[in-house]
Chains A and B, each alone.
Chain A
Amino acid sequence: MNENPGVGALDTVLTTQQFDRIFSCLADLAAKLRLMAVLLVDGSGRILAQKIGEGWKDTRLEGLAALAAGSYSASNEIARLLGESARFRMVLHEGERRNLFVCSVTQDFHLAVVFESGTAIGMIRLFTKRTVEQLVPVLSERTAPDQDLGKMFDRNFETLLGEELDRSLTDGRPGDRDRS
């Protein structure tokens, strides 16, 4: 995994092999704990992999991922303001029926777990810790070579993307008044 923490252009590339192994880890965890959902997200809230359990209707979890990552990042800022030398180990949001547990996998990746209130938090912590240990080496692996990235972003892609943006992002107004 190629990571440059903070602001950067080429932050993360997830290969097919990495994805398969990550998904397998998440699926095992979800099955063991009968989770409603488990997501691996990066520090900016993007979903690397997710496993949704039975009974969860919403399949678009981008908003939840953004909020979970934001919540965990905010907790780290709170830790810093309180004079903690390390991050908080986890964030837990307890509801009447559902809970959200977020913990760190590596510095820039978090695991977000949605589970029903009947499940013991100790179980969640125990099994997510094991999953984290499985995920760390996968996330540390080297990524796809640059020439493959070059294919992903060739000039043809730029042209086609420009055309698609013009089709999708339109409100029928004339001219775009770019001042440059």
Chain B
Amino acid sequence: MFIHWALKEIHLKIVYYGAGMSGKTENLRYIHSRIDPALKGDMVMLKTNEDRTIFFDFLQLEVGNIDGKKPKFNLYTVPGQIQYAQTRRVVLNGVDGIVFVADSRKDMMDANLETLLDLEKHLIPGGKTLENFPWVLQYNKRDLPDAESIAEMETKLNFFGVPSFEAVATTGEGVFPTLKAVIKKVVGNVQSQLEGTQRMRA
């Protein structure tokens, strides 16, 4: 998080994390397509020739003036493919909240879990774990015929009971609820930390 006191700006960084082709970029594309132009910047996409994310996608959102403060949300995706592990580490630098985009196809369950473990591996050096870091789950591609049941996906991935959402990112279903939920988790986490600090000093 970055607070710009002079401008009363609060910058929060949210990263969409998940296995390759799980739909991270589609989330940002949909958000970009539906947001009031006055509230968004250009969407930056760094892709390979095969339309796969090679570094990150980026989009900045604003939600106007809140009680004299201006929250800004920097949304990033990471490249999901295995060979881009170092790139994912770079993109996670300074992250405040994560949307884990899980691919609902049955044959992607192992990849989803491996990617979740990969995420925690990157959180640990910053003193964070999946238990104490603000994140939410999105079960994407719910429209596919070979989608795993939600009960099974909850058992396999949501062992910490974080908020989870069904989604079809290509049509936008579940995209905004997911984003709102992660923002609320991040703000709640900041408040808890501040209250904890103040209690310790009291």
Number of B residues with CB within 8 Å of any CB on chain A: 78
Is residue B106 contacting chain A, with contact meaning CB distance below 8 A?
Answer: no
Which residues on A sit within 8 Å (CB–CB) of B10? Answer: 152
Question: Is B91 part of the binding interface, using a Cβ–Cβ cutoff of 8 Å?
Answer: yes
Given A46-B13, A173-B173, A7:B165 Cβ within 8 A: no
Residue A48 is within 8 A (CB to CB) of chain B in the complex:
yes
Which A residues are CB-close (under 8 A) to B87? 74, 77
Chain B's nearest CB lies how many Å from the CB of A76? 8
The CA of A1 and the CA of B4, in the complex, are separated in Å by: 12
Which of B91, B184, B187 contacts A153 (CB under 8 A)? Answer: B187
Pick from A6, A19, A152, A165: contact of B93, CB under 8 Å:
A6
Q: Which residues of B contact A86 (CB under 8 A)?
A: none
Interface set, chain A 160-180, CB cutoff 8 A to B: 160-162, 164-166, 168-171, 173, 176-180
Q: Is the CB of B66 within 8 A of A63?
A: no
| B36 at interface by CB-CB < 8 Å | yes
- Evaluate contact between A10 and B193: CB separation under 8 angstroms: yes
Interface residues of A in 115-158 (CB under 8 A from B): 144, 146-147, 149-150, 152-153, 155-158
B5 touches A157 (CB 8 A): no
Among B3, B123, B184, max chain A CB count under 10 A is at: B3
Known: A63-B42, A162-B184. A7 touches B69 (CB 8 A): no
Q: Given A157-B66, A170-B176, A178-B163, answer yes or no on A149-B95 (Cβ-Cβ < 8 Å).
A: no
Does B64 contact A173, Cβ atoms closer than 8 Å?
Answer: no
Q: Could you say which residues of chain A place their CB within 8 Å of the CB of B31?
A: 169
B172 touches A173 (CB 8 A): yes
The complex places the Cα of A19 from the Cα of B3 at a distance, in Å, of 11
Residue in chain B with minimal CB distance to A22: B6
Q: How many A-B residue pairs have CB under 8 A?
A: 197
**How far is it, in angstroms, between the C-alpha of A109 and the C-alpha of B56 when the chains are bound?**
20
Indicate with 1 or 0, residue by residue over A10-36, a CB within 8 angstroms of chain B CB atoms.
111111100110000000000000000
A60-B42, A152-B10 are contacts. A73–B90 as well, Cβ < 8 Å? yes
Interface pair B1/A11, CB less than 8 Å apart: yes
Minimum CB distance partner of B97 in chain A: A9
B198 to A: closest C-beta gap in Å: 6
Q: Which residues from chain A contact B125 at a C-beta distance below 8 Å?
A: 6-7
The answer to whether B4 touches A44 (Cβ under 8 A) is no
Is the beta-carbon distance between B36 and A168 smaller than 8 angstroms? yes
Inter-subunit contact A14/B172 (CB<8 Å): no
Interchain residue pairs with CB less than 8 A apart (16): A6-B93, A7-B125, A9-B1, A12-B1, A14-B3, A15-B6, A19-B6, A19-B7, A44-B93, A46-B13, A157-B66, A157-B187, A168-B36, A176-B165, A177-B165, A180-B161
Task: Give 3 closest A-B pairs by Cβ, nearest first.
Answer: A7-B126, A44-B94, A176-B177
By a beta-carbon cutoff of 8 Å, the part of chain B in contact with chain A is 1-7, 10-11, 13, 31, 34-36, 39, 41-42, 44, 46, 55-56, 58, 60, 63-64, 66-67, 69, 71, 74, 76, 86-87, 89-96, 122-123, 125-128, 133, 150, 154, 161-166, 172-177, 179-181, 183-184, 187-191, 193-195, 197-198, 201
